Amino acid sequence: MPRRIPLVIGHRGASGYRPEHSRAAYELALEMGVDAVEPDVVATRDGVLVIRHENEISGTTDVADHPEFADRRTTKRVDGVSLTGWFTEDFTWAELSTLRCRERLPRLRPENAAFDGAEPILRLSDLLDLVRDGARRLGRRIGIVLEVKHATYFQSVGIDLAPLIEEDLRAGGWAQGEHPLIVESFESTVLGRLRERGIAASFVYLIEAEGGPFDLVAALGRAAPTYRETVGPAGLDRLVGAVDGISVDKSLLLARGSRIAGDAHERGLTVFTWTCRPENAFLSPPFRGSGGRASFGDYEGEWAVIADAGVDGVFVDHPDLGAAFFRG
């Protein structure tokens, strides 16, 4: 059954107020009352899981300011896309630990950029401890929605994310239902592998508005289903028993006549959506206001459509606004 009040999930922490994935962003999200926080997980060369939006880190760290790492800048194809920069898998954890976090969207969120350089990168193990200890201090249950990034790509360079994730979850006391845990990915194969390893979690399939999942494209080529096909009735039928829910680009729910949430709920699947942000830059056209990309538009109008769809969870960059609206 759909939740009457959706989970409010701090997207990369309170990333509307602090550089994403920084300790300060996560601590602020907990203080603002989130039900859970969402880290993205990638890996280092020596198999340490770190919390970064992508494995390419030029926009979220000060790596470009480190002359000792200048020769690590390179071009790679990740999930079929050519990227130039610095990549976590080319560094050991000892090397990455010397870097500092930076705001990824400094022009849109200049206030966040004031915190650039203040904090080092977090490991997954650090975040597991931070959330567990924060929940104990605040006296309430707080979960983690763990996003696994680029599992097929990492496998291709000799780094298997599944056993590394299992190891950290078990060592941190998060693998056996001790705390609320959801594992999500745009690749269903890694979700299946983690389920087979006995991780006590809900497994949620992330759905883009366009394109298809890289793991299936790599395996099946043109025969791979698109994301849009996956959230059609026949595609949802195939997900039953394989995953516990879906998490869709909000544009799919905002589309006129969308039946995705209802169709998924009829099949016993939970429905999350991403990402609820107040700035005009992120709002769909009918809800944008005056004042430029960084100004807040009619985010409550957009969020009302999402709430009316009956979603079970929403990812928010501004947890205070999300909690006030979706719990109001």
Domains in the chain: ranges and CATH: 7-55+124-326 (3.20.20.190)
How confident is the model at residue 328, as a pLDDT? 81
Mean pLDDT, to the nearest integer, of 232-256?
Answer: 97
C-alpha count within 13 angstroms, C-beta hemisphere, residue 95: 19
Q: Average model confidence (pLDDT) for the chain? A: 97
pTM over 0.85: yes
In this predicted structure, the answer to whether residue 197 has a pLDDT above a threshold of 80 is yes
Single-letter amino acid code for the residue at 63: V
pLDDT tier at 21, thresholds 50, 70, 90? very high
Nearest 5°: phi and psi at 46? Answer: -95, 20
In this predicted structure, the answer to whether residue 1 has a pLDDT above a threshold of 50 is no
Q: How many CB atoms sit inside 10 A of residue 84's CB?
A: 11
Mean pLDDT, to the nearest integer, of 137-150?
Answer: 98
Q: How far apart are CA 323 and CA 317, in angstroms?
A: 11
Mean pLDDT, to the nearest integer, of 186-192?
Answer: 98
Q: How far apart are CA 12 and CA 25, in angstroms?
A: 7
Strands 81-85 and 143-148: unpaired
DSSP-based three-state secondary structure for 55: coil
In this predicted structure, the answer to whether residue 309 has a pLDDT above a threshold of 60 is yes
